Structure 1
Amino acid sequence: MSYQALYRVWRPQTFGDVIGQTAVTQTLKNALITKQTSHAYLFCGPRGTGKTSVAKILAKALNCLHLQDGEPDNTCEICQAITNGSMTDVIEIDAASNNGVDEIRDIRDKAKYAPTMARVKVYIIDEVHMLSTGAFNALLKTLEEPPAHVVFILATTEPQKIPATIISRTQRFDFRRITTEDIVGRLETVLDDKQITYDDHALAVIARAAEGGMRDALSILDQVLSFGQNHVTVENALDVTGGVATAQLGEYLQAIHDQDVAKALTTVESLLAAGKDAGRLIEDLISYLRDLMVYQQAPTLLADTETELIDSHFKPLSQAFDADRLARMIAVLNETSGQLRLTNHPTIYLEVATVRLGEPTPAAPAPQSQAQTASAPSADVEALQQQIKQLQQTVSSLKQTGVAAKPAPKPVKRHQSGGYKPNIAKIYPILGKATRKDLDALKDVWPDLLNMLSISKRAMMKISEPVAASPDGVIVSFDYDILVERAEQDDALMAELKDSLQRLTQKQYEIVLVQSAAWPNLRKEYLQTNGAPAKAKKPAKPTTPPVVKTITDMFGDENNITITDD
């Protein structure tokens, strides 16, 4: 017989064989014992956590001739037929390649026929979220009123893509990621059965690389066995997974702590040159930093499989880095991880992240002593009391001399609430030549101008609009004065605006920014100062003498009459 992958050989055949999903398996066993099974189930969870395996076990348990405590015996002819895939009453469908309406209609039409051998007919639809909208609608009626001899088991890794009408007609079970300890225990069982020796540290490396998926862990172990034959070593596990030795991670972070960026960059370069995966390096660093944080707060929470990965740098680094620094470093690495997915040059982003990690932490302001904090308010109070005494003396002297107090000057009307002042010297020349035609032309191209800006610049300019324009200038208003100041101080933004506007209009514009609340007052003050443009008066229509009007009424239009002054 040809070689079978480990994940196929070690596929669970009973609920007791399923690793890390006790809540799911126990609930299903109890339902089978009490004969309270549903007509439709929805299994959700990450890949490799046992969804399809549990679906097949459930199909066997529903039809087993000798069910014992909710477990199939795997010896009767029906269990064996389901195991080897020859049972016609258990139908497995891959929704990724059979996602059309016709396929689901075919299921609906055949579901009404009774099973040939089994007690119930079971449909296992894998990756059900791949069905089209029409296919879901075709399946809905069958799920709502299914035949008594049919059970549907839907499996998916993305339950958010399934319509709520489908979910509400099923019993939903959420499969969790399998813990590192459970994966390591399963790998030990496999290797012991195959009589292959291993390093405990190597199994921990494989378990971490699997990210909670048992199938991935067995596939990685398969590769490691092919790579190293009779013994599973840490070096082989790291080579296959593309991971980095814990000691190298510790050396890298020690260089970061010592602000020796050159050494840290050299470490990154050597790791990538050795064929290590950049994404895996980031994930290993995040895991290492996470372990440092957990060890700082509660050392007992680190599992045994995680303490095996602790190197000589771990404990000194846990004391050297504070929690805030660790959190910032994790944030930088997480951001870099997202950038690596979009580039073919990971070295650049890793070097940038290394430089950012090596930057010194900004020093917090030194706290004032108790004596300083107590003396400062008292000094302020004494100064205020002295000013009050002086004011009281001044008022009493004015009353004695009979001098009337001058009324307080009226507050000067400001253009806006903040301290920002508009640039009148640039605004008035534009208003002097402003026309409605120029403003309409700029408003038409303004959305195109915003789309040409970078994302960050577009976000700032999104609440802006042109309010006046001349052939060589435009006034742009903002809702908040703080944005006006920030935009004017951003030389890159102003240059990008002018360049984009020139490309759209083939003209060089002077761009002036104002606050929208101040704009009406600015315009009004300009009109009061310079005067509104005078409208051209229509020429006065010459009055017709009464005698001419009488003759016109008698002989027709005045165009037929010639008037001669004597």
Structure 2
Amino acid sequence: MSYQALYRVWRPQRFDELVGQEIITQTLKNALITGQTSHAYLFTGPRGTGKTSAAKIFSKAVNCHYLKDGEPCNECETCKAITEGSLNDVIEIDAASNNGVEEIRDIRDKAKYAPTVADYKVYIIDEVHMLSTGAFNALLKTLEEPPANVIFILATTEPHKIPATIISRTQRFDFKRIKPKTILERMEYILGQKGVEYEDKALKLIAKSAEGGMRDALSILDQAMSYGDNQITYDNALLVTGSVKNDLLLTYLEQVTGGQTKDALKTIQAILDEGKDLKRFVEDLTSTCQDLLLYRQDTEMVEEMELGIVDEKFKQLSETITDQQIYDIVEALNDVLNSLRFTTHQDVYLEVLTVKLTHLDAQPVEVASNSATPAGPEYHDLLDTIQSLKDQVRELSKEVKQQPKVVASADNVAPEVTKPSPIEKKPADTRVELTKIYPILDSATRDELNQFKQVWPDLMESLSVTQRAVMHVSTPVAASDDGVIVSFEYLFLYQKAKSDTDLKDALENSLDRIVGKAPQIVFVPENQWPEIRSDYLSKNGHPKPTSTEKVTTDSTTKSNSADQSEPPLPPEPGDIDTPAQEMQNENQANLVVKKAEELFGSDIVDVKDD
């Protein structure tokens, strides 16, 4: 194909050509000039605002040897290769189709190798919010400690879906919607370069329909050019965008606010006959209502925002319509817009909407508050009805106050009050994942547990405030190389932590950063942990402590002054010898005591006979 779409031909190749994002482009240019570029960037914002274009321009600028005022030269071999997409050191990845762990691991492994031609290897990951949780975890370590000659540029339209651990390791730039006036100027420049004739009203309509996206504006412009044989007319723009003429929108609003139901229905029928997009019609109607409301407050702002499309008919309607009418119309339009998305009979909803809008009557309020003329008989009847209702309420209130006194004087007994039956509470979910706990206990050791206890304060500091509030009463009670068991003092915090996947991801990511590995984390309630340990020991053939002796450790009792009559807690699974070792030490007096002394030292273990 020899023809290319306008948004591809006129894609910005320099920061100066990236319109509407002057703050971002100036910041990037200053970073390039001073050599203070970061290893990772996050570009966020609505579609068509220049995120990917800025990433490609930055990849050229950081590798260009003829940089001038932060702008790439676009003439050297490196710049040309990046523009053509043939340079192997600039890799653009679509995360929507490459969102698995394996793809990100492949990136992580290849990032270790030096660039082949350019000075920096640049990875541009578009729609990065589509990555899975595992893929984000695989990318996390590389973002934290990237190779010297690697730069990551992440682009997304939904930054709220990206983990905070990823965002904190990048420099974030928020691309904003481009103003209609800026889009209009850019389209006028492009059409001037191409020598295409156009009508001002058509370009203004396209600039407004683009909703802040330059790519959308150029796509609509391209379509209008094809339809009009290289001529951009207002009627063609209306057909391409599916919009309704501004004059017809104002006529419809005049009809519904004036209660002209038949005329308004005829207008709707005319719009249906033209095959207009009804959702677009409702959106345009809402936008017109917004302009009317704002125009009543600040005329200059609306004239600038609407690119001068404010005629005498618009001004006249703004003087006759009331603010309350605008509020009611917008609310009704919003309701019907949600319904149009899930129906195939849109014409029915539009006709019902029209009848509803023509019967929105705010006049009685205006007459009562603003008019100096006397109200009619209907208004007086309404006042009489309201006064009668007030009198009835007053009489009922007196009877209610007197009734308890009569009962008390007659029987001298307080009236019985029927208490509502208590609401049965659903049993809390206290199930413990034994299938995950037992494998950890099989290889649990005291050294692993001590390691996690030492880093636990640092781990808590790495969490957010809300996550720290949940974990502040937690402590690791058993650990192996593959996992760690964490007990919670309060049951409701255990339940909250168990259902919070973001909390588990944050803990595993932080542990990976602190101790160099991300073990599986399993939560248990503190009151169930002793029983779980005891069951595990009995199933694996370990002896339980008898009632005549007690091993005092940091995992079983908190103080030597504990109640002597309280039954002892079984020792940690990681503190018990395997069955093979038990056979070798079977001649010793007490295997549990000796093993505790070996693990904790004789100065900690306190053996007491009851």
TM-score (norm 2): 0.60
Q: Which digits, 9 at most, give the CA deviation of each residue in 1:324-366, with x for residues without a partner?
A: 2212211211221121111111112212222222123242283
Q: Is the 8 A contact 1:128 1:155 kept in 2?
A: yes
> Deviations along 1:56-78, whole A, 9 cap, x unmatched?
00101110111111111111111
Aligned partner of 2:52 in structure 1 is: 52
Aligned residue runs from structure 1 range 302-341, under 5 A: 302-304=302-304, 306=306, 308-341=308-341
Going from structure 1 to structure 2, the CA distance change for 1:166 and 1:307 (only over 3 Å counts) comes to closer
The corresponding residue for 2:117 is 117
- Tell me by how many angstroms 1:414 deviates: 7.7
Paired letter, 2:313: H
1:350 paired with 2:350, answer: yes
Would you say the 8 A contact 2:60–2:79 is kept in 1? yes
Moved over 6 A (4+): 407-412
Would you say 1:292 and 2:292 are equivalent positions?
A: yes
1:199-210 equivalent positions in 2, closer than 5 A: 199-210=199-210
Q: Which has the larger radius of gyration?
A: 1
1:26-64 CA-to-partner distances (Å, cap 9, x unmatched) read 111111111111100111111111000000001011101
Q: How does 1:475-494 map to 2 (within 5 A)?
A: none
**Residue type of the partner of 1:168?**
S
Amino acid at match of 1:299: T
| Kept after mapping to 1: 8 A contact 2:187/2:218 | yes
Partner of 1:104: 104
Partner amino acid, structure 1, of 2:234: V
Q: Give ranges in structure 2 of 5+ residues lacking alignment.
A: 372-407, 427-610
- How far apart are the structure 2 equivalents of 1:302 and 1:176? 20
- Establish whether residue 366 from structure 1 lines up as the match of residue 365 from structure 2: no
**Change in 2 beyond 3 A, CA 1:196/1:411:** farther
Q: Deviations over 1:156-179 (max 9, x none)?
A: 111111111111111111111111
Q: How many residue pairs end up in the alignment?
A: 384
Change beyond 3 A, Cα 1:414–1:260: farther
Q: Does the 8 A contact of 2:55 with 2:124 survive in 1?
A: yes
Map residues 133-144 of structure 1 onto 2, 5 A cutoff.
Answer: 133-144=133-144
Deviates more, 1:319-328 or 1:152-161: 319-328
- Letter of the 1:163 partner, please give it: P
- Residue 190 of structure 2 aligns with an amino acid whose one-letter code is V
Instruction: Look up the match of 2:228.
Output: 228
1:152 alignment partner in structure 2: 152
Cα RMSD between the aligned structures?
2.4
Asked if the contact 1:197/1:231 (under 8 Å) is kept, the reply is: yes
One-letter amino acid matched to 2:368: A
Residues 115-139 of structure 1 show CA distances to partners (whole Å, capped at 9, x for unaligned) of 0111110000001111111111111
Q: Corresponding residue for 2:237?
A: 237
Could you tell me which residue of structure 1 aligns to residue 71 of structure 2?
Answer: 71
Contact 2:303 2:309 in 1 (8 A): no
Q: What is the distance in 2 between the residues matched to 1:310 and 1:415?
A: 67
The AA in structure 2 aligned to 1:44 is T
Partners of 1:317 and 1:412 in 2: how far apart?
A: 66
Q: Secondary structure at the match of 1:152?
A: strand
Matched with 2:80 is: 80
Q: Which amino acid aligns with 2:236?
A: N
* Distance of aligned partners of 1:413 and 1:91 in 2 relative to their CA distance in 1, 3 Å threshold: same
8 Å CA contact 1:293–1:323 kept in 2: the answer is yes
TM-score (norm 1): 0.65
Matched residue type, 2:36: Q
Structure 1 unaligned blocks of 5 or more:
370-406, 423-439, 444-566
- For 2:137 and 2:413, the matched residues in 1 are separated by 70
Q: Do the aligned partners of 1:201 and 1:308 also contact (CA within 8 Å) in 2? A: no
Q: Where in structure 2 are the equivalents of 1:549-560 lying within 5 Å?
A: none
Q: Distance in 2 between matches of 1:411 and 1:207?
A: 79
Once the 2 structures are TM-superposed, how far is the Cα of residue 229 of structure 1 from its aligned partner? 1.3
> Hey, what's the Cα distance between the residues in 2 that align with 1:266 and 1:311?
24
